[in-house]
Chain A
């Protein structure tokens, strides 16, 4: 790229010329993939920008984006940026109160909402958000009888814009030209494991330079196809589906609805794909379960070839030399298993996949890599505009997260915390000077809050949140997340919470995976009526026991963590749920809340009792509250003597 456009509206103009007839965006709607080329998309965005201008949108105004991944909402981001405004994408599944905080905090003047559901939320909080002047909706369905002056249909706004442009033909172009790289481009609110969300202020330079560096790092081209399905408010989506798309000029595909993502993924067959580990985990679980239902012969074929793949597939992908017969066997496997499997998963065309956010189970990681899917890990956070470290092709390890991303410096602070600086480092937290100062020091180093170290090969290894790393009473290290992740690598364990800080030994809560365990129950004729009943089943307990023993065995071999072997556990009677505040929206465990809520159980784990009664408040899907009661079993797990020499 010889020219270096420094804002997205400018990139849009470039792309509209460079890739005029290439498809920029698709959306599955009305049964087919409706498509827009870069030129068409620019026209739509400009019309919207003009419309916003006509409604009085000023430089510096904030435009909230509320909804799932729809082209029009993406256009809203760019349209706001055209006018020098600041888009504020909001997690669409937040309840009205949560939204209210963000909208109020960001002082959003305009809102683009996806549909009636989101509009209703906006109307509900409108009175508490005095700055909110206009609500624009994408889908008019069911809104005929809404009579509000500040409610606008998206197409009406565009029509308004098309009128506006007749009188002010150069307005938007001028506004675009005014923009520069150091301007604020977007507010991205972090979900925050504790406390209120923080608005991370990003400049164009932050986003664009990071996107450009990473695109070069992975040689992304305009031919990539990406499925955008992750929340628009999340920095990852903003980089992958917006930043990199504008920089490289590739195509973004929006699924029809949340329920059709897997079908849509299969149809599109992306070449570049990002998903958090749990998505890959779910895929593997589904594959395993579905293969269980296959005939004997097919199962044996599958198992045989998956063994072959594990032996040679990873090597082939890493470019290592492989014997001829293995290569032959692998290509046979490719015809019979790998390629069809990738096809059913929608990964036939995949060139590059990333995962991040959590540790990924080595089995899962290897499974996909052995199939020939180039899945890599990266380590990043919102404050860095994602990329802190990435794995270069050919240097892929399951337990490390790669080398520092281009232009990023990473080092380990004395307390073991990972710190970094680079072009993507955020501008500030909006209206939160203190936090900004706490996170980013004067030299530009940002504190990640993660504990980690560089392995011998120069790759970064992350252990846990620095604040979560605790000590057992004997002073040895307790890294709960590390243990939990090890547990969660088992397909039938959905969530786990480990305890041990300032205790004598480690214990754990287990959440079973309803899909996996339910399937197992069906196959083994184990009757159950509810989640609770299944969770309390003795056979299920035995199954978990076996898994935890395995974890203990592996922990025993780690000299740092051999004390962390789980001595006792229980299976929770309900799923940990973001709606009950037990998890964050991104499904991270909220330890404090859990510790409060289930204090009885934790005590029971340490007082040696065999059973424990608990009554919990729950929030149902429709918002009603209720309580469930259960009598839980607690179980002891055998532990192993630490192996002196780590294997």
Chain B
């Protein structure tokens, strides 16, 4: 209905394979980005920052990462929480050891460190496949959490074993710590997520992305046409862990401000991110965002409606919330097993064909 594609034709390959080939999509994305970068910072307050926007951005980053591994390369991982912890602790150690280091650099370095750890734990994927791999990645989840709990060096021997983000500034404005204004942390995360979402898109549309997808769709055929499985799988683990590490770093330094391994990065987080990409859509960048939005916003929404709106006792609401989320997840998987991204694709297709049904 909204699409006017007539006359929107491509005269070069670079136009044909651009990120948003349809003009309206492009304009919509520009609009959303402009809104997110130029308008939201003026509207944001603590509540929106901490309850809605930062969690969304942090989880979107993690979902991007896991989607690269699971959605694009077909390797199911339940070690996300552990890798986020690596990112968080790497970030903490870097912040403490190099207080002068720019926060962007810190987060990216934390991601790189996580990428290395990811490669290490990705090695079994060469032999183990499917659910066996999924469960095997739990080994990394449990081991990493145990490690960060056990080795005091990671938490700088603090009495409690908690790590807390010291204040760091960017352009003279605090970006971590309690004094950081909401718009600053928001913009920081938004910038990272935006940039790396585009990078993720670039990766998946090119040679590397295709080698991942080839492995995902049919690994033997992929190898026989010249995709080295070792390189493809490990690069997927590396890139995926890089993103997850950054999200862990963001979660620790900007969103929560402090962290403790089992509370903040437990196995529940691994499942949560996996859910995000499945509800959102495997193998879809957009899906990562939709999934993250769905699963971070839905509970807040349900809670506000049930407790705030209907005035039900919080415990009842909490149980009901769990029940509803479970039911909604099942409902979505039944209705559209390929996730919200597919739902959007179908909707878009219908809008493009409007008023025709097909």
Contacts and interface: CB of A to CB of B under 8 A. Distances in A.
On whether the two chains bind one another, the answer is: yes
Nearest to A294: B357
A301 B12 contact: no
Contacts of A339: 4
A269 B357 contact: no
Nearest to A33: B11
A302 B7 contact: no
A32 B10 contact: yes
A267 B8 contact: yes
A340 interface: yes
A26 B6 contact: no
Contacts of A17: none
B6 A347 contact: yes
B356 interface: yes
A336 B355 contact: yes
B146 interface: no
B357 A26 contact: no
Of A301, A337, A339, A342, the most chain B CB neighbours within 10 A belong to A339
B91 to A, nearest CB: 45
Contacts of B100: none
Of A294, A336, A342, the most chain B CB neighbours within 10 A belong to A294
Of B4, B6, B13, B358, the most chain A CB neighbours within 10 A belong to B6
A339 B4 CA distance: 8
Nearest to A345: B6
B220 interface: no
A266 interface: yes
Contacts of B8: 267, 269
A310 B117 CA distance: 68
A346 to B, nearest CB: 5
A35 to B, nearest CB: 5
B330 interface: no
A379 to B, nearest CB: 29
B30 interface: no
A340 B1 contact: yes
Contacts of A267: 5-9
B5 A33 contact: no
Contacts of B16: 31-32
A35 B356 contact: no
A67 B207 CA distance: 39
A285 B115 CA distance: 58
B132 interface: no
B355 A301 contact: yes
A544 interface: no
Of B7, B11, B16, the most chain A CB neighbours within 10 A belong to B7
Nearest to B15: A32
Contacts of B5: 266-267, 343
Interface in B302-358: 353-358
Contacts of A31: 13, 16
Contact of B6 (A32, A266, A295): A266
Closest 9 CB pairs of A and B: A269-B7, A269-B6, A348-B6, A267-B9, A290-B356, A294-B357, A340-B354, A33-B11, A349-B7
Interface of A: 26, 31-35, 225, 266-269, 287, 290-291, 293-295, 298, 301-302, 335-337, 339-349
Given A33-B11, A343-B5, 15 more contacts: A26-B11, A31-B16, A33-B10, A34-B11, A267-B9, A290-B358, A293-B358, A298-B357, A302-B355, A337-B355, A340-B3, A340-B354, A343-B6, A344-B356, A345-B6
24 contacts: A26-B11, A32-B12, A32-B15, A32-B16, A33-B10, A33-B11, A225-B7, A267-B5, A267-B7, A267-B8, A267-B9, A268-B6, A268-B7, A268-B9, A290-B357, A290-B358, A291-B355, A291-B356, A298-B355, A301-B355, A336-B355, A340-B354, A344-B353, A348-B4
